């Protein structure tokens, strides 16, 4: 449930089993219930027990988007970037015929965006001391990577995977740049 979109029919069946179990009924029982299942699934602030399996499935899928942006040195993130580009195609258009777990996750973020909720606006990178944020490759300032905002300066950088902490610890910001030799 965390990486693949669960089919609605399966989620409905599981919700039905869960609701009957909660009510104390046998699965095949037709007894009357005194519990409103929608109220049970309401948020804890509204007196309910929490979310549905549908919401849990989507929430676990959206966590992969957060991992994609925060754990960029992991192998799976680098593979996704190699296949789909630096943004993982999260901001771009996904072809309707293409199939993969990652594209299913991206499609869910697009579906949420069409309903007026932009998942990426809800996420913010916490810089901290800068030891886990790559200066040029990560989105840590103004919603875009610095290598895309300043490609000419990026081409002069000798250490393209330098972290923010290491870059700012240098004597000057141009310390790691390769400057063309004057003739």
pTM of the shown model: 0.59
How far is the C-alpha of 69 from the C-alpha of 183, rounded, in Å? Answer: 43
Q: Check residue 31 and give left, alpha or beta (phi > 0: left; psi -120 to 50: alpha).
A: beta
| Domain edges within the chain | 57-122, 125-183
Q: How far apart are CA 138 and CA 87, in angstroms?
A: 10
Backbone angles phi, psi at 119, to 5 degrees: -60, -35
Gyration radius from the chain CA atoms: 23
Residue 34 has a pLDDT of: 62
**Quick check: 27 pLDDT over 70?**
no
Phi/psi zone of residue 130: left (φ > 0), alpha (ψ -120 to 50 degrees), beta?
A: left
Condensed to tens digits (0 to 9), the pLDDT of residues 122-166 reads 777 677 788 878 888 887 887 778 998 999 989 888 888 888 888
């Amino acid at each position: 449930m965390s990486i693949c979109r669960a089919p609605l029919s399966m989620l409905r069946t599981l919700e039905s089993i869960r609701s009957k179990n909660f009510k104390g009924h046998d699965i095949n029982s037709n007894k009357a219930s005194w519990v409103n299942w929608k109220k049970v699934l309401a948020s804890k602030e509204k007196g309910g027990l929490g979310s549905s399996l549908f919401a849990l499935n989507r929430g676990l899928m959206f966590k992969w988007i957060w991992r994609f942006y925060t754990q960029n040195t992991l192998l799976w993130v680098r593979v996704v970037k190699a296949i789909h580009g630096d943004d993982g195609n999260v901001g771009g258009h996904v072809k309707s015929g293409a199939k993969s777990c990652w594209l299913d996750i991206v499609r869910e973020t697009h579906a949420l965006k069409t309903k007026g909720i932009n998942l990426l606006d809800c996420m913010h990178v916490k810089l901290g001391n800068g030891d886990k944020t790559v200066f040029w490759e990560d989105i840590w300032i103004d919603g875009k990577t610095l290598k895309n905002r300043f490609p000419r300066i990026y081409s002069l950088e000798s250490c393209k995977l330098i972290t923010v902490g290491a870059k700012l610890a240098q004597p000057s910001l141009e310390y790691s740049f390769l400057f063309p030799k004057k003739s």
